[in-house]
Amino acid sequence: MSGKTRENVPISRRRTSRNNISRWACHVIGSVRHVAIGLSSVLALGSGAALAQGFGKEPIKPLPPNPALDTAKVELGRRLFNDPRFSDDGSTSCASCHVVAQGGADRGKRVSVGVRRQDGEANSPSILTAAYNFRQFWDGRSPSLEDQISHVLVDPRELASTWPAVIQRLSKDADLVNAVRAAYGEAPSQQNLSEAIAIYERSLPEASRFDRFLRDEKEAITAEERQGYEKFKSYGCVACHQGVNVGGNMFQRLGTLGDYFADRGAPVTRVDLGRFNVTGKESDRYVFKVPSLRNVALTAPYFHDGSVATLEAAIDAMFRYQLGRVASAEDQRLIARFLRTLTAQSLEKSAGNAP
């Protein structure tokens, strides 16, 4: 201790200290509240979540094996996911904005391009482990993979279509109709088409080197990557990025400990309001679903607005706006090394990220 009494500390400094403590307390309380919101999703994972909980006290859990899925429905869903007839002008499919071979997002694009070459509102999140998100979309407006398809279908910037129009177009394709009948025993419908796409998306999660590490294959990651993981935990990143999906299971305000939007410089847009657009609650202004960090090394640019170009810059922004802390360049480099271990192994090899 310096020997200074409270009376010797200037009032302005005392107020600053109290304000900092209050802001940190709000961050912690908010995190607890949003974790509670995501609990139902964790429980809904059923046996997969129970399996993951058996791996010690680590805040991140390994991906469980994918559920047993009907292969005919998976293949049908794959076809539909890549079918541009879901769009009004025949130009755009789900795969146009979620490129599975490149991390499940639209790598390199701030926002994706939809029908009639229109820019979307938000950065496309990865679809590869969306099955483990407790809600879908940045603002969490959709409760399931099946439901989110309808949101995209009718969005005038994305597919700009309707279910009757899609079913009419697809019903002219005898081969596709036969595939639907083989998988479901009935003609194409909103229910079976959306379910097939969702089943395909549930087939996509793939383990990473870090999953092998969590399952006691300690040589699966390097010493530096292990150091990065320890830094990730000690700095508190796991308050929001934990569990099977390393995120995706709670909401959080962007700019909890700093004004992200003021510093960004660009005017605040509708999509920046986040969950406020869903609930209308002032407390949900600038609140977003915490994204999964699985495959994050492949999905630049980052954040809902796609305004951050590199993984390293995203890490620095999180320290400033979410943690209110300063980390050395070396610590941030190590954390980036760790985050690259979360890439699905088949994609890591093709991207040249393997150690």
**Model pLDDT for residues 201-220, shown as the tens digit of each residue:** 999 999 999 999 999 999 99
Instruction: Mark whether 334 and 242 lie in a shared domain.
Output: yes
Summarize pLDDT for 153-175 with one digit per residue, the tens. Answer: 999 999 999 999 999 999 999 99
* Domain-embedded: residue 311: yes
pLDDT at 145 over 60: yes
75 counts as catalytic: no
What is the pLDDT confidence band of residue 19, given thresholds at 50, 70 and 90? very low
What is the pLDDT confidence band of residue 109, given thresholds at 50, 70 and 90? very high
* Domain-embedded: residue 145: yes
State the total domains in the chain. Answer: 2
Residue whose token pair is 């109290």: 18
* Domain-embedded: residue 22: no
Instruction: Mark whether 188 and 263 lie in a shared domain.
Output: no
pLDDT at 321 over 80: yes
Instruction: Mark whether 225 and 89 lie in a shared domain.
Output: no
Residue whose token pair is 């490129």: 99
Instruction: Mark whether 318 and 339 lie in a shared domain.
Output: yes
What is the pLDDT confidence band of residue 30, given thresholds at 50, 70 and 90? very low
* Domain-embedded: residue 267: yes
Q: Please give the mean pLDDT across all residues of the chain.
A: 87
* Domain-embedded: residue 60: yes
Q: What is the predicted pLDDT for the residue at 352? A: 55
Q: DSSP secondary structure string, 83-106?
A: -GGGSTTS---HHHH-BGGGTSB-
Domain end: 177, 202, 227, which one? 202
Domain end: 184, 202, 220, which one? 202
Q: What is the predicted pLDDT for the residue at 130? A: 98
* Domain-embedded: residue 3: no
The CATH number of whichever domain residue 327 belongs to comes to: 1.10.760.10
Instruction: Mark whether 82 and 101 lie in a shared domain.
Output: yes
Instruction: Mark whether 36 and 138 lie in a shared domain.
Output: no
* Domain-embedded: residue 133: yes
pLDDT at 349 over 80: no
**Pairwise CA distance, residues 94 & 242, whole Å:** 28
Question: Which position has the higher pLDDT, 15 or 145?
Answer: 145
Summarize pLDDT for 32-57 with one digit per residue, the tens. Answer: 444 433 433 333 343 344 444 445 68
Contacts of 290 (CB under 8 A, 6+ apart): 34, 240, 241, 247, 248, 249, 250, 251, 252
Catalytic pick among 7, 75, 121, 158? 158
Domain end: 161, 184, 202, which one? 202
Q: What is the model's pTM?
A: 0.85
Domain, as residue range, for 144: 71-202
Instruction: Mark whether 144 and 242 lie in a shared domain.
Output: no
Instruction: Mark whether 56 and 105 lie in a shared domain.
Output: no
Instruction: Mark whether 83 and 161 lie in a shared domain.
Output: yes
Q: What is the predicted pLDDT for the residue at 353? A: 58
Identify whether the C-beta of residue 342 lies closer than 8 Å to the C-beta of residue 296: yes
Question: Which position has the higher pLDDT, 37 or 81?
Answer: 81
Instruction: Mark whether 301 and 232 lie in a shared domain.
Output: yes
Q: What is the predicted pLDDT for the residue at 351? A: 57
* Domain-embedded: residue 23: no
**Pairwise CA distance, residues 95 & 93, whole Å:** 5
Question: Which position has the higher pLDDT, 232 or 39?
Answer: 232
Q: What is the mean pLDDT of residues 284-297?
A: 98
Instruction: Mark whether 184 and 238 lie in a shared domain.
Output: no
Q: What is the predicted pLDDT for the residue at 350? A: 58
Q: What is the predicted pLDDT for the residue at 354? A: 52
Q: DSSP secondary structure string, 120-189?
A: -SSPPPP-TTGGG-SSBSTT--BSSHHHHHHHHHH-TTTT---HHHHHHHHTT-HHHHHHHHHHHSS---
pLDDT at 299 over 60: yes
Instruction: Mark whether 91 and 161 lie in a shared domain.
Output: yes
Q: What is the predicted pLDDT for the residue at 49? A: 43
